[in-house]
Amino acid sequence: DDVESRGLGDVYKRQLYSQAYSSYSSGDYQSAIPTFQKLVGMDEAYRDGSAAYYLAQSFRKSGDLASAKPYYQYVVDNYAGTEKARTSKNYLAQEQQ
């Protein structure tokens, strides 16, 4: 039973990510944000932090850096040394200037 529900969860998470990333890619951040939020709420580490990172990016690109910051911080704290973490650190540093 657990394996089956986990499998369905994985499919659902893939669908959420695909839908949210599609909205993000087309510049529709208002649609991307709630979908990424739902995914991050289920699995903050999804795709090595990509869901959290793109949620932060969606917030920032829609003019809400304050809401983006905790997600950028999560990526910096958990994925040090990655391109996503370097980018996140830059955006966090910008906020402090």
Model pLDDT for residues 30-55, shown as the tens digit of each residue: 999 999 999 999 999 999 999 999 99
Contacts of 92 (CB under 8 A, 6+ apart): 69, 72, 73, 76
pTM comes to: 0.91
Structure tokens at 61: 């690109």
Residues of the chain with pLDDT below 50 are 1
